[in-house]
Structure formats: structure tokens, C-alpha cells
Amino acid sequence: MTEPPQQHYLELSENPVQFEHASSVNNVFFDEANKQVFAVRSGGATGVVVKGPDDKSSVAFRMDDKGEVKCIKFSIGNKILAVQRTSKSVDFINFIPDYPHTEFSQECKTKNANVLGFCWTNWNEIVFITDQGIEFYQVFPDKRSLKLLKNQSINVNWYQYCPETAVILLSTTVQGNILQPFAFRNGTMSKMSKFEIELPVIPKPAKLSLSERDIAMATIYGQLYVMYLKHHSRTANSPSAEVVLYHLPREGACKKSHVLKLNTTGKFALNIVDNLVVVHHQSSQTSLIFDINLKEPDCAVNTHQPVLPARSIHPYRMPLAGPAVVPSQPPVPCQLYSSSWSVFQPDIIISASEGYLWYLQVKLHPTVNLLQDKGKLMDFLLRRRDCKMVILSVCSQILEGGVKGSLPVVATVFDKLNQVYKEYLEAEQSYTVAMESGPSRGSAAQKRPVRTQAVIDQSDMYTHVLSSFTERKEVSHKFVIAVLMEYIRSLNQHQITVQHYLYELVIKTLVQHNLFYMLHQFLQYHVLSDSKPLACLLLSLESTYPPAHQLSLDMLKRLSTANDEIVEVLLSKQQVLGALRFIRSVGGHDNVSARKFLDAARQTGDQMLFYTVFRSFQQRNQRLRGSPAFNPGEHCD
Amino acid sequence: MALSVSVTAMQEKQYTPSLLSFFIYNPTFGPREGEEEKKILFYHPSDIEKNEKIRNVGLCEAIVQFTRTFCPTKPAKSLHTQKNRQFFFEPEDNFWIVMVVRNPMIEKPNKDGKPPTIEYQEEEILDTVYGAVVRQCYSMYKLFNGTFGRAMEAGGVELLTQKLEKFFYRYLQTLHLQSCDLLDVFGGISFFPLDKMTYLKIQSFVNRVEESLSLIKYTAFLYNDQLIWSGLEQDDMRILYKYLTTSLFPRHSEPELAGRDSPLRPEVAGNLLHYGRFLTGPTNLKDPEAKFRFPKIFVTAEDGYEELHLIVYKAMSAAACFMISASVELTRDFCEQLDGLVGPQLTLLASDICEQFTINRRISGPEKEPQFKFIYFNHMNLAEKSTIHMRKTASVCLTSVHPDLMKILGDINCDFARVDEDEEIIVKAMTDYWVVGKKSDQRELYVILNQKNANLIEVNEEVKRLCATQFNNIFFLD
């Protein structure tokens, strides 16, 4: 926040994974499932260095050079290494200690088929994708053999794999635009319903028209989507490129669900960061972000414009201490959007020529000034992972501005925050209820709700926004009160119980500016809910505002659990008879301490009053114990 | 005068109390002999002969001066005579307002063409009620003109007499002395019962309007002639409320009651979005001749008083009063802006409130509707509630009980005023009525029960029941 306004809302991770850059002797591979980079020198003979997102998943080893490596991947947990060197077979090496380390090999079952690639779906389950279908195997590392679990014949142009959901997508037919997904789970393979990507132009004669580069799979807001980068075409009626999202549910048909308007043409690449679709545009060296859950009021349903204006990724400098393997590299600014970049899902950018792997990240602070519509900004921020402090700072900013007409904005923002807050409270409550009613029944269904950063509760608002805001001298008290009332209104509207400290803040502000009549009216309409602390606070105001006494007594009366306090208040006002009548009316006369009343009566100096009170207690004693005498414990002798 | 009414039938004729004269003087303005007329600042009726005016003023002056010797701090408040009663009030130093009320009387016809006998009922009217009426007269003048002192500063006696003439000439015609009662003593405010959420919505509305039209200094919000929100201080609101509910609103609601649209409201072509209209200021915004002049009022401020434009804007049953510093000139532009902003929102709010109100009514059920006739007043917030009084109109204030009972209520109130402590008074009136007065802290409650053969204990129980159902959420000592 101390830096001048920044416009770059995307950045490369500060700690990239560094590896030996690709060269004639060093081949580099990336495994999306384990997010590991393999640097294979001389076919593995002079070493394979595996770098993962953390040190644990980094490994270095040697293997025999048995020809050019086409594809190399560890199974989940680095248990088994699979290497493809020919188009017919895949080789395996055990990495489990105590298991034989000798390589073993598996040829594809289908005759004359070429293996396009393979994917691990588990630590010991692997899928071969050939041009004629897919083969699903279980690997037995101890026996150094594989068992075919299932296979499916189908003509395949190319394939994509989404490791998160273990779904493989196959491009079939001549044009390649019929996509067939398969899902894998615990040794089973299920065929999902296939679907067709609408091509901008139907080529004649038919030829492969859907490129692997234009399709990506990713989960957004917990749902699997196939993203299709639809380029603009001169013949079809589409002035600029767009990204079409197909929703791929576990069950049921795949549906075209969202269209992201890119409003430009050229070369694009896609990433998913924090449930945002990021579209990189190479020629302009900028990126756009889309949020498919943001409703666009002025667009047709599910057509989205970029959330923010296009900006480039934040400039990146290679760390001064360059990678040890290339010590001569100067600390130069990194060339962004380089043609040597490869982009992987969901959020990975790799520069093979420079030996860097970055994670793409969204910075929320710069978005604040780029999105003028604060309601939309809140919708956007509330869906982001690390949003809390940014949201709170936006709240402070709106309140600080004191721009004319900002109250409706404040109201909208509060309502949006409290909607999320309320949903969380409700989930929490139904969870508690379910737990109390016995965890035996359907306990699996009830999961403790996760409190995301988007849940901004009253204490967050109080600590980070409201308490400092109310102390600001330059803000008019009118505005302060309006804002507090707006927040209380919003909480009430969402049926959220307002915390006492907010009422205290309101009262403090009103008292500071001598607005007692306003306070009186708020209490009259029960805007400040009854509570003992509030009643006590009111009592303390009596010296500056006498009516507070009545307000306080009324409140204690309504609480119906504060009879003792009422008696104390009346006695302190020397209203001994009133106190006595009150305690009788609520039926507490028999148990009350006589001494307290007699003391108060004596203090008035009114002998008649003292006598009356004394007689009243004697009568009570007579009724209770048959004698007018007091119990010794009552100290009334 | 009413005495000239001749009665042919052989029956008694009853005359209610009426205004005989009303005058304002300042003894320091004509201290020397021969200059007495200069003391008189206003005199009603104006057609009284000069010397009589001087005589009457002199008499009042003498009474006040004479009684002062007995109690210098509390000058005389009223003078009882057989035919009339005089009320004295010194609102500002040396400025005296005097109101002379003719006692109610009964005219008994005599046989043989003799003039009828007149019986004055000198004990039937209450000092507290008419004393309050005089004070109200002054408060109302002050609301629209500021203090007497202010007029003196601005333009001397000449301006003051002009202002008094202009104001009281019309105002005195609206005094209905025959229907003054306990409620005038209280000068309370009826608050509209409302749930918290709807109340907060109104808060939100007021705050938004004040924020976007920053000229607005204070806002008051009413529904069904009952107050919901006041940005003004209590005492200012009290008199403004009086003006709104007894003068401004009745004047505008009568055309509505007559079942047709207000003739003041033109068809707002092409804008059916709202029902908002100005009750003060321009009647038709579209009229190119429209004047954007609003009544000015004076309210207390930190340094004395401030002068404000009073804009009263109404949509259906909801009325919002916006007050703007009088130093600002209000333009067509501003009024259009206000109309465009407030109209739709106020219309929406009005229907929200109406809806909530009917829901609450249905929930609370008809059994909560009081079968009791009572008047409640809280000195603390001036809240007043009466099931005795019918709807107030511009001309009369109707009560559903006999004036005798109202008199008893007034008497009980006087008793309460005398002591500080909480007390309860139960009166058995003629005609089988019981009247109960209760005072607890700053609250007063008066109940009229019509139960034949009820005894004291039963009446007491009945009142307890009323308190438990109607006033269960306040601290009210039994």
C-alpha cells in the first residue's frame, strides 16, 4: 500500500522453481499431476534432476540412456517412474525402497497403435493413450508387471489430462471437435458423455480443426470445465476471439455454460488462479481476468466481459543470486509473455529456455482502484482466497472518502459482506444442531463449515474499520452515525444478532455530540437491543441525561431477569417503597434481604418510612415463620 | 356576542367556553401617563375602543404587579371572576400575553318575556388547560417568527406589531377553546408503533437523503400523522408536531378524505413511479410560474436560534419534513432534485410501513385492541397515547367521553403536578364511571372504566390488567 498506485494485478511467484534450462543435451519435461519438472541430461545417463513445488518432491538420479525420452512422469508419491522412449511401449522403474530397481516395460495392447502418452491416476494405476484408444493398467512393482484393467477403442487425435479430477479428455473424429471424457477412480474407468465443440467454421473437406492448444481443462469453483479458445474467423460472424466454457459434470451431459469476451484477436494462453480465468494475450503483452460467478447486468446471461482492464503481469526480475547451474546470468528483468513460455493448468508458467517455473498469482490490492463499482468489487473480492484484509481496507477507504452519495454504496457493501457472514453462521448453526442431535445419523453428510477469509464478522469490522473510523476528527458525526446505523440495519436485515460493542460505539458517538434525543429515539424503537450491559451503560449516563434513568429501568424490566438490579436502582434513588412494591409484584418479597431495604429507609431520615418498611418485614416474618423476629443471619436486630 | 342569541323554546341553552379577548403588551414601552397605548402590541378583538383596551391592559398590569409582592418569583398565572377567567403569561422579559376566556354558562329562559337567567359555571374550566393554550400560542408564534426580542432587534416595535398582527389574526381563529383538554396540557407527541427493521429502513432513508442533499440540516419523519423520527430537538419537535398535525396535515387531507385526488396535485404525466408531493412550497413543479417559497421556522440552536425553510413532502401516508438553513435560497432545480430522489423512495417506504403495520396488527390480534378508554403520557419523551380522542381535524377535536369526565382527568393531573412522588388516584364519577389516574416516575396514565356496580378492588384489578397488556414493556410501578 505504501508504493504508488500499482496497476499490475497479476504477478509471478517470488520463489520460482529453478531448473537447468533446456538445451541440446538437456531435455526438460513437466508433469502436471505432480507439478514436477524433469531435466533429463543425455537421455538420463548423466543424470535426471526432478524439481517439485517443494523440496520433498525433488529427486535426482541416473538412468541408462536407452534412447530419446519422449515423456517421463512419477506416479503419485514418487513411487514408480514411467518413461516413454518409443511409440509402442512405456518403461517403469521402481522407486520404492527394497523393491527391485531394474526397469520393466509394457507394450500397448492394441496392434499397430502408437502411444501418444500416459497419465498416472494413482500411485500404481496408469492410463496409456494411443491413437486407437485408451488402456488402463494396474502396476505391480514387486512383480515388475502390469495388469490391464480396462481398455476402450476409439480414434484419438490428441488428449488432455486433468489430474485434480482424474479426467482424461480425448479428441476424436476427423475434425477433432468431438470430445470424449473418461473419469478414473480407484481402479475404475467410467465413460462420461461426449460432447461437441462448436467450431467457428466447418472445413471442407473435413480435416483436423480443433487444436490441442486451444483446449484446456480446469476446475473453477469446484466444477470441472473444458475451456475452448475460440479464435476469431474472418468468414464467421465473430469480430474477436472468445473463450467458451463447457461445464463437465460428473453425471449428465456436458453443457456450454459461459462465454468470455476477449475483445481482441491474436495468440492467447489460459490459466486459472483463485477461480479466475486468466487469459494472456501475447501480442499486447497483457492479461485479462474473468470471474464466471460475477453477474453481468448489461450482458446476455453467462456472457462475461473482463472484470478489470487488461494489464501486464507485474515486472519480474531474475533473483540476483542466479541459479547455481548458470552463475553467469545477469540480474536482468525477465521478458514477460515470451514465446518460449509454456502455460500449464491451473496456474503454472514455465520458461524452459531460462529454467524457471512460476506460479501465477493474483494481487488483490491493485484491483481496488481499477474497479470503480464498489458493489462489483466486493462481489469480486468476496470470492478470492486472501481477501479479508483487502476487503477491510476497501471498507475503510469508502468511509474515508466521504464522497457525496457514498451511503448507498456503503449499504451495498455491508449487505454483501453480511450475506456471506450470515450464510456461514447458518451453516455453522445447522452443523451444531446436527452434532447435538447425535453424530450417528448421517454424520458423513455433515461437515464442519469452513470459515473462509470472506467471512467478515462484527469483530473484524469493529477492529479494523469502525473503531478507527468513529475516532476520525474530520468526518462529520452525522456521517459516522449514518454509517453505524447502516451497518446495524444490514445486520438486522440478515437476522444477525448485533454485538454489544457496536451499540456501545453508537452510544459513545451520540453522547460525544450531545445527541441524547437521537439516542432516546433509537432506544424507543428498540434499535439498540436490550441487555444488562446496555442498561448499565444507560444508568451511567443519567447524570448528563436524566431520562436515561427511565430508559434503563424499562430495559431492565423487559429483560425480566434483572429484578435485583431494578431493586438496587430504586433503592439508590431512595425509592424504598417503590422497590418494596416492585419486589412484591414479582413475588420476590420472601427471599429479599430486609437489611438492604431498612438501610435505605434509614438513610432517607424519614422515620415514618423506616417504620413502614420495618413493619412490612415483620409481617413477612410472621407469615413465613410465625414470628415477627428476624433470622440472626439477616443482621436486622 | 353569543349572548344575543334569543331562545324561543322553553329550554336551557348551554354555552361552551369562548375567547373574549387576547392581547400582548409590554409595560416598559409606555411608562409615562398619556402614553399607555404604546404598551399595547396586539389586541384582539381589534374593534374595541382604545380606552377600554388601555383599561384592560392596565388592570392586568396592576394585578401582576400587586400579586408579585406576595411571591416575586412566581407571578400571577390566572384571575378567576364570575364571568370569565384571565390567563397571564410572560414568555420574554416584560412581554405579557393575556387571554381572557368566558366561562361556560347556561341560559335559562324565563316566562313572561323576561330576559333569561344566566348561570356562569366558573369552576368548569381548568387553569392548567388554558394556561397551556396560552403557552402554545406563544410557542407557535415563536416557531414561525422567532422571539419577540428578535423582531424588536430587527425592526423595533413597528415590526413586532406587524408580525403579531399577521400571525395572531389568523391563528386565533383556529383556537377551539371548547375542545381544549388534558392533551393540551401534555402537548405530547403520538409515536407510530413500528418494528425495528422498518424503523432502520427509515433511518437509512433519512441518512441517505441528508447525505445526497447536503443542504438538508434536519429531517423529521411521520406516518399517519404520528411521529417516527425527529432530527430536531424535543421541544422544537413538540411544537412543529402540533403545527403539522393540527394545521398542515388536516388542511391537506380533507380533499383526500373526500374521495378524490387532491386538486393540488396535478397529473404527473409520464411519471407514475411515485406519489410524492410538496405540502409546503410549490404545488406543481411543472408549473412554469411555480414559486419556490417555503414557510420559515425558528428552532433552538447552540447559539440561540436558527432560521430554517420547512419543506414538508408527503407520499401516501408517509410525510418527511426537511429543514434547510434559511440563508440558502431554494431553487426549482433543488426542488426537482428532491422530488426525484425522495418521491420514489418515500412511496416505497410508505407501502412498506403500511404492509408491516397490517402484519403486526394481524399478529397482535384484535384482543389487543383496547376496550379501555385511556390517556397515557410520558414526560420523558413526550409520548402520548389516547383512546379517548378521535381523529383530529382542522376544525374540531372530538372526544368520545363526556366533558365532565375530561374535567376529572384534568383535576387528577393537577393533583399529580403538585407532588413529586408516584401516586394513584381512583375516582368514582357520576353516571357509574370510574376514573383512575396513575403516576409512576415520569409517566401518567388515566383510565376511564364504565362498569356498573364495580367496587374499588375490581377497578384496581382491571387497571392492573390494562397495564399488563398495554404497557408490559415499560417499567410501570403497580
Query: Which of A409, A481, A513, A550 to mutate: most B Cβ within 10 Å?
Result: A550
**Does the beta carbon of B464 lie under 8 angstroms from any beta carbon of chain A?**
no
Check residue A4 and give its pLDDT: 46
A502, A508 in Cβ contact below 8 A? no
Q: What are the beta bridge partners of residue B22?
A: B44, B99
Check residue A273 and give its pLDDT: 92
Q: What are the beta bridge partners of residue B18?
A: B102
- Region of A144 please: left (phi>0), alpha (psi -120 to 50) or beta: left
pTM of structure = 0.84
Mean pLDDT of chain A: 84
First to last CA, chain B: 50
Listed in sequence order, the residues at least 6 apart from A595 whose beta carbon sits closer than 8 Å to its beta carbon are A634, A635, A636
Q: What is the pLDDT along chain B (478 residues), one digit of tens a residue?
A: 333 343 444 577 888 889 999 999 998 887 787 788 888 999 988 888 888 999 999 999 898 888 888 888 888 888 999 888 999 999 999 899 999 999 988 888 877 778 888 888 888 888 899 999 999 999 999 999 999 999 999 988 999 999 999 999 989 988 888 888 888 889 899 999 888 899 999 999 999 999 888 899 999 999 988 999 999 989 999 999 999 988 888 887 655 544 444 444 443 444 556 788 888 888 877 778 888 889 999 998 877 889 999 999 998 889 999 999 999 998 889 999 999 889 889 999 999 898 888 887 777 655 555 567 888 999 888 988 888 886 555 445 566 777 788 888 888 988 888 887 788 888 888 777 888 898 888 889 998 888 777 788 888 888 888 887 777 777 766 5
With contacts defined as CB-CB under 8 Å, which chain B residues touch A548? Answer: none
What is the complex's ipTM, to 2 decimals? 0.85
Q: d(Cα B259, Cα B278) in Å, to the nearest integer?
A: 20
Query: Which of A476, A484, A551, A554 to mutate: most B Cβ within 10 Å?
Result: A554
Check residue B5 and give its pLDDT: 40
CA A77 → CA A92, A106, A330, B129, B156, distances in Å? 15, 21, 36, 94, 100
Alpha helices in B365-402 (DSSP H): none
CA dihedral A75, A78, A79, A81 (to 10 degrees): 60
Nearest CA in chain A to B207: A482
Nearest CA in chain B to A518: B231
With contacts defined as CB-CB under 8 Å, which chain B residues touch A557? Answer: 473-475
Q: 3-state secondary structure string, A205-229?
A: CCCCCCCHHHEEEEEECCEEEEEEE
Q: d(Cα A89, Cα A82) in Å, to the nearest integer?
A: 10
Burial class (CB in 10 A: 0-12, 13-18, 19+), A314: middle
Give how far A553 is from chain B: nearest CA, Å: 6
Q: What are the beta bridge partners of residue B23?
A: B43, B98
Kindly give the parts of chain A with pLDDT less than 50: 1-4, 321-323
Q: d(Cα A396, Cα A418) in Å, to the nearest integer?
A: 16
Question: A457 in helix, strand or coil?
Answer: coil
Cell of A255: 453443457
Smallest Cβ–Cβ distance between B474 and the set A482, A521, A557 belongs to A557
Check residue A225 and give its pLDDT: 92
> B314: closest CA among B356, B231, B253, B272?
B253
Query: Which of B380, B424, B461 to mutate: most A Cβ within 10 Å?
Result: B380
Give how far B178 is from chain A: nearest CA, Å: 34
Nearest CA in chain A to B420: A575
Question: A384 in helix, strand or coil?
Answer: coil
A244, A228 in Cβ contact below 8 A? yes
Give how far A405 is from chain B: nearest CA, Å: 5
CA dihedral B388, B389, B390, B391 (to 10 degrees): -150
A279, A291 in Cβ contact below 8 A? no
Query: Which of A521, A552, A556, A559 to mutate: most B Cβ within 10 Å?
Result: A521
Q: d(Cα B255, Cα B473) in Å, to the nearest integer?
A: 39
Q: Do B207 and A488 touch (CB under 8 A)?
A: no
Q: Do A489 and B201 touch (CB under 8 A)?
A: yes
Residue for grid cell 424503523: B199
Smallest Cβ–Cβ distance between A527 and the set B199, B381, B442 belongs to B199
Give how far A527 is from chain B: nearest CA, Å: 6
Q: What are the beta bridge partners of residue B78?
A: B87
Question: A78 in helix, strand or coil?
Answer: coil
Q: d(Cα A600, Cα A594) in Å, to the nearest integer?
A: 10
Cell of B30: 409606555
Q: d(Cα B434, Cα B448) in Å, to the nearest integer?
A: 6
**Does the beta carbon of A560 lie under 8 angstroms from any beta carbon of chain B?**
no
**Does the beta carbon of B57 lie under 8 angstroms from any beta carbon of chain A?**
no
**Does the beta carbon of B25 lie under 8 angstroms from any beta carbon of chain A?**
no
Cell of A24: 541440446
Q: How far is CA B82 from its chain centroid? A: 28
Residue B306: enclosing H or E segment and its boundaries?
Answer: strand B304-315
Q: CB A435: neighbour CB atoms within 10 A?
A: 12
Q: d(Cα B340, Cα A216) in Å, to the nearest integer?
A: 51
Q: What is the DSSP letter of A466?
A: I
With contacts defined as CB-CB under 8 Å, which chain B residues touch A581? Answer: 477-478
Q: Do A485 and B203 touch (CB under 8 A)?
A: yes
Q: CB A332: neighbour CB atoms within 10 A?
A: 9
**Does the beta carbon of B162 lie under 8 angstroms from any beta carbon of chain A?**
no
